[in-house]
Amino acid sequence: MKQEAAATAWSIYESAAGFGLVAASNKGLLAHHLPYGLKTRADALEAAGMSHPLAKEGSDLTRAAAALLERYFRGEQVGFDLPLDLTGFTPFQQEVYRMVAAIPYGTVQSYGEVAGACGTPRGARAIGGAMARNRLPIIIPCHRVVGASGVMTGFTAPGGIDSKRELLMMEGVNVVVGGGVIR
């Protein structure tokens, strides 16, 4: 992956899970820091300063994204029809992100299904690699991508698989004891 663009603005939002942070460049949303690792507003401010040192607080885009994320974390079904800055990602990764962004709320797809939709039916592992590099979780809902049998794997965000499970349950996905989903 090439270097991402520099953020020009960021906004903080609050949820029951903690404080989230969303950043944007002049082209679109660039990064989303999930609230699971940021327990206080001070944590979020520190993350903003460390991750996006050249950015200023608030733009129309980051405020709109933060408002949508607050609603999402309250359990509302929202659409993230906002411009994204996918600078630094390969064309394949960008295609994967477009496919994953289209997975409807409350549903899941397997890595293999996403690979097939991207024209690489044997590329499930490559889909997993792209998901691990996703800078915009929730907005590009990588938590909706699961193993072929419904098993939850590889969620690199704070809280790992527990966070993925929590997000899917919030969306109404049937999660079984032991962590898989009913497909």
pLDDT attached to residue 45: 96
Q: How far is CA 106 from CA 7, 69, 128, 177, in A?
A: 30, 16, 20, 18
In the chain, ranges of CATH 1.10.10.10 domains? 91-170
In the chain, ranges of CATH 3.30.160 domains? 9-73
pLDDT attached to residue 155: 75
Q: Which residue is listed with tokens 């997000």?
A: 167
SS3 content of the chain, % helix, strand, coil (to 5): 40, 15, 45
Is 118 an annotated catalytic residue? no
Q: What is the spatial distance between Cα 22 and Cα 65, in angstroms, rounded to a whole number?
A: 7
Whether 139 and 32 have beta carbons less than 8 Å apart is answered as: yes
Q: What is the spatial distance between Cα 77 and Cα 60, in angstroms, rounded to a whole number?
A: 21
pLDDT attached to residue 178: 65
pLDDT attached to residue 81: 95
**Stronger pLDDT, 85 or 176, i.e. the higher one:** 85
- Mean pLDDT over 96-109 rounds to 96
Q: Which residues pair with 146 in a beta bridge?
A: 110
- Mean pLDDT over 100-120 rounds to 95
3-state secondary structure of 99: helix
The DSSP string of 100-162 is HHTSPTT--EEHHHHHHHTT-TT-HHHHHHHHHT-SSBTTB-GGGEE-TTS------STTHHH
Q: What class is the 91-170 domain? A: mainly alpha
Residue-wise pLDDT for 1-14, tens only, equals: 455 679 999 999 99
Q: What is the spatial distance between Cα 21 and Cα 44, in angstroms, rounded to a whole number?
A: 6
3-state secondary structure of 69: helix
From the list 22, 30, 31, 142, the catalytic residue is 142
Model confidence at 78, pLDDT cuts 50, 70, 90, reads very high
Kindly report the CATH number that applies to the domain delimited by 9-73: 3.30.160
Residue-wise pLDDT for 113-160, tens only, equals: 999 999 999 999 999 999 999 999 999 999 999 988 888 777 777 777
CB-based contacts of 6: which residues, under 8 Å, 6+ apart? Answer: 25, 52, 54, 55
